[in-house]
Structure 1
Amino acid sequence: MISLRKLAPALCLGVALQGTTAMAEEVLFYHDKGFWSEALAKVGDASEAATGVKIAESPYSSAEQYKAFVQSSIASGKAPEMFSWWGGQSLNDLVATGKIAPLDDVWKTAIDSGDFPASTADLFSVDGKPYGLPMHIGKWAVLFNKDIFAEVGVEAPATWADLEMVAEKLKAAGHTPFAATVQDGWRGFIWFQELLLRTNPDAYAKIHTGELAYDSDEIREVFQLWSELFAKGWFTDVRSNREIEDFAAGGAGMYLIGDWAIGLLESNNLPIVKMGAFVMPNVDASIPPAVIVEGSPIVFSTEAGQDEAYIKAAEYWMSADGANVWGAASGNSIGNVNAEAPNEILSSLDASINEMGASAVLRWWELVPAQLQGELVAEFNSFMLDPTMEQAEAVMANIQALNAEYWADQ
């Protein structure tokens, strides 16, 4: 076995004395999702009960520290055996190291069993070969507090004009329309990606291929709109480091975030029945409906990909039973069609998306070159801390300088 940890020495002594007690195998799962530690522990215990292999989670406190750990481990020639990552360009770059195992057999089993459509594997594939399993497949939407909406007398908006009306009524009633912060350093892109997609989807596509500059008029229009929303008082204090907790406590009426936040809000005492969700309306009503999605992969080192214990862990994670444990504990869906929907909000949101005929668009984070993610998000954060057009011009210039340098080498 590769990097297989046994139980504590005291238990090993017990085995020697009793002679009949089985020793459980344990595989390590590294991640930067500390807010899901309790849920992952439940999956790990369920995996041990079902397969004899316990998935033991090993969390990192920040995304940047975590990325540094993984990248330095790979550079030293020893990739972590099982760990979470990001899709899109980040996954492409990771696979290019040659240290990540293809997962064709795990996916074949999952697809042949009817648990997953073949198209789901595409989200986690590089050059047509799957290298990741879904930690979650999330949709980005606007969550809202039903009690606050009922108090103010508004419903989920269907158009941008409706959204403006809802925001105005919330503010007039003493409620901040949206929760939005720079907490943990990565959130700065959320409103940028959403406003760009809702105003100019062509620009959204071209910004990720180097065809469009970050200091172009199309991007300037987004910052102008964003700045105006700040001036209208649409957002909470962006410096707060309690975004989830504050929204759960009624600190805002709406919250633009991935649907993975539903479980976190519930664990912070905002019950599922008190929440609703809708897809952000387009600013330009002539634009076809779309929803931003993310597929967060779990990947395995080349060594772990040949290890029976890790394969057992992978197959359990992909099973309907594993998906149900994970969904119930975290509120996340991995796309297993035979698993139960984690909550009624996701069921309703999926039905709404299907009715709209909305297309799926990958997140900015997955599409942007991995080497630029941290620096670009830091620039977006700096705008949120000073949401003026003067600051926006500086941010656009800084981002474009980084972007131009990257694409000049491609």
Structure 2
Amino acid sequence: MSTMPVTLQDVELARDGLTDVIRETPLEYSRAVSEKVGAQVLLKCENLQRAGSFKIRGAYTRMSRLSDDEKSRGVVAASAGNHAQGVALAAQLLGITSKVYMPVGAPMPKLQATRGYGAQVELVGATLDESMVHAKQWAADTGAVLIHPYDHRDIVAGQGTCGLEILQQCPEVRTIVVNIGGGGLIAGIACAAKALKPDVRIVGVQAEQAAAYPPSLAAGHPVALQRMATMADGIAVGLPGDIPFAIVEELVDEVVTVSEEALSRTMLFLLERAKLVVEPAGAAGVAVLLEGVIAQVEGPVVAVLSGGNIDPLLMMRIIRHGMAAAGRYLSVVVRMPDRPGSLAGLLAKFAAEDANVVEVRHARSEATLSVDEVEIEVEVETKGVEHREQLLAALRADGYQPTVA
């Protein structure tokens, strides 16, 4: 443990510095998740932390340790949103000026909240990595201190205070599941948890289409991804940090991935069953539990909900996506003769199968349609995968040729 870049003592010192700054977030038992997993599952609700995520822990720890001269020069950061808010809030609390570079298209609530904490925000680049280039240049040009989102000992130590809370709240914990972006959170939690309870199993989770850690661990060093495509902007990091990577390589037992469909299903599940609003990145840990990705799960299990900062428009799309993935929402396209009664007959069929019609769209002018044809797209609510398949089978049996949109 002494060879680790961050130790238990570092994390404990960070905890002392965060007194009266952060909230000790609740550890909530989830009966719904536990029943599906077959083991006791508790949710560490960092989505209820100040600024909506765990990021204030590391940002404040790092910035509170700056010298007076460094503080006078201000700080700069690059972030997709949560680190931005953590830095902006920490700067406000410490009386430091802050500038944050965020990718173009960053979620509006995260952008507005960052500005609300007093940071100057500039939108540049399409990814966090591109924004980071500008942040580093600003630091070089102005002398501002770069507050890295994950690749710094103080950041990792600050995030590790979440691990101290988990062990305090659930000393008997056997498995901790944590989402991974750059690696700061899981590295900090691993440093604290493994020092206090060496036999605890720590599992990292990445989005399938933004998973830099599996190839990096296989190679033995951080490897950059060539492309990423995930709704989980909070963990869309193309290159692991050197400091977190060294800790993850040594202390984390397993790193797994989860699909976009699983993320959306899990967000919907947490909203409906746990009454918790969680962003896609924050749902990753629960998603792998619900999907059965981890071969053997020994309870009690703690899954970290890392953040809850989500654009309501994205939430609406994800709810619909999650319902479709769960077989509870169906968009179907049917071609039929363009004559009176055709639409009424189709809708009657949906009613007979107890499917609730949400929206209907006509298309008469498509080049692929015959002059006497109409294309109807119907969006319906269904009751699950079995009901959806029954509905499609009933349509086919009546001579329709439905295409799932």
Higher helix share: 1
- Shared fold by TM > 0.5? no
User: What is the TM-score normalised by the length of structure 2?
Assistant: 0.26
Q: Which has the higher contact order (CA 8 A, sep 6+)?
A: 1
- Under a length normalisation based on structure 1, what TM-score does the superposition of the two structures give? 0.26
